[in-house]
Chain A
Amino acid sequence: MLKITNVTKKFGELTAVNNLSFEVAKGQVFGIAGPNGAGKSTLYNMISGLYSFEGSITFNNQSLGGLPPHKIAKLGISRTFQIPQTFPSLNVEKSIGVGNHFGSKDGFEQKYVDKILEFTNLADKRKAMAGQLNLLDKKMLMIGAALATKPEILMLDEPMAGSNATEIIKLMDLIQHINQDLKVTIIIIEHFMKVLTQLTQELLIIETGTKICCGDPVTTTNDPRVIKCYLGDSRD
């Protein structure tokens, strides 16, 4: 449903993403991994319309090139950020409401907002200010606000960063629920290989903007090229 073909992004002399192609199928949990600076977040910024790019990105056969972010959100692509982005002076319920108001094709539905609040375990904190939540709840809220736009694809950017083992289990559980119960296709950027191998059906490894390999997570993580890009070459 999401097809990236020969996409390149240059910042001046620096090539952040280099002639990258891959495809995400409907219903998948699709993982993206690679060392820091590999171009993972740049890729998200291009898909969600924050950056321009060369090449083609299509969603359900519609080209996303040149579309502004809010139109892409309306088409059904939503995302989260590495550092939780919230609306600090809106309360939890309103923050999710904003996403539902503006992002969803069906407009605002209190029922749906309630469902998302239950889903993200924030129902009893609905009146709390977004700025005052702890890190896990902020992450839950950011995912909730993204879900409120009723996306077909949810792109998560390092959702586990800074979380402890219990929180990681909670977040993984949530991601699985979103994928299976809400039928949302998921793309996830993550550093924890364990998370990726457990959650994803397909895993893409990139380094300095270039595809290293792509395939089922177990094979991919054992690929010598992947081991080399993470651990370095013993012959170097």
Chain B
Amino acid sequence: MFIEIIDVIISGLINGSVYALMAVGLTLIYGVSKAFNFAYGSLYSLGGYIAFLLFSLAWINNYLLVFCLAAPILLVIGFFLEKLLVAPLRKRDDWEIKVMMITLGLALFLDNSFQVVFGARMKSLPTMLEGSFELGEFILSYQDVAIFIFSIGGILLFRWFLNNTRTGMSVRAVAQNPEGAQIVGIPKEFVFAATFAISTVMVGMGGILLAQKYFITPTGGWDILVKAWVITAFGGMGSIKGSLYAAFIVGMLEAFVGWHFGMTWTLIALFAVLLTTLAVRPQGLMGKWG
């Protein structure tokens, strides 16, 4: 019993850490450009498929190499998706709604493309690290430890980027005051595209990290979109800190509900918690209203 609870907590922490990485990316787009990206889940699958392709190359045999190659690929894809699909809409009225529609369209396009190119069958990635740490009944696989470390590492890297680089500074300035930022010489359009690109990398990395445990399927991203959305709404739209807390709460909740009531109950439990939170506190845990 005691060991089981420890297992559940660990699984909650590990899933929570990957959710945090992905939810921070989603909340970043919302915080900076006030637009919601419906294709976020499909970009998660895209990350998985890119890693799958990279692993199929003979000379690629480890995750570090895959991360180093996948990150710039995702960055470029994200940047151009924003420039080609989202940026032209921003000049029109009601662009927030139009962005939702076009990203929804993008999601369907990507999912169907995955199906055509890779087929409907699940794809798997090799395990990052074999083996496990064992102490009596307690077992901790090295793979889980690696996933946790890479997710937290990704979040810390993102934090460093926001606080210490020129682009990071301009991202924060645009999030807080888009007009003021332009007036002091920050290219707003570039910041929007950069934000989209960075969030694509974050969710794509999440896709690669989780693919070794949950496989890659053409429509597998929808679950992730729903979870990432629940986390950002629960944590407070646009609040990075809120998303971090919410991601771990959701990870834990999922683990405990799944363990005690069965996996089918986890999404229902998530929505129950989300709805209750929003009814009491419409801005979410740490969101600011207006």
Contact = CB atoms under 8 A, between A and B. Distances in A.
Contact of A89 (B170, B176, B183, B188): B176
Contacts of B181: 87, 98
B259 to A, nearest CB: 39
A98 B179 contact: no
Nearest to B185: A103
Nearest to B186: A102
Contact of A145 (B169, B179, B184): B184
Interface in B172-186: 172-173, 176-177, 179-186
A11 to B, nearest CB: 13
Contacts of A104: 185
A73 B177 contact: no
5 contacts: A70-B187, A73-B183, A89-B172, A99-B184, A146-B184
Interface residues of A, number: 27
Interface of A: 48-50, 68-70, 73-74, 78-79, 81, 85-90, 98-99, 101-104, 145-146, 148-149
Given A68-B189, A87-B173, A90-B172, A102 B180 contact: no
Given A73-B183, A98-B181, A102-B166, 14 more contacts: A68-B188, A69-B183, A74-B185, A85-B179, A85-B180, A87-B176, A89-B172, A90-B172, A90-B173, A99-B184, A101-B169, A102-B170, A146-B183, A148-B184
Nearest to A78: B183
Contact of A102 (B176, B177, B179, B185): B185
Interface of B is mostly: helix
B179 A50 contact: yes
A48 B176 contact: no
Contacts of B186: 70, 98, 102
A103 B184 contact: yes
A164 to B, nearest CB: 25
A102 B187 CA distance: 9
A165 B16 CA distance: 56
A148 B173 CA distance: 15
A94 to B, nearest CB: 8
Contact of B185 (A70, A85, A89): A70
A103 B166 CA distance: 12
Interface in B140-177: 166, 169-170, 172-173, 176-177
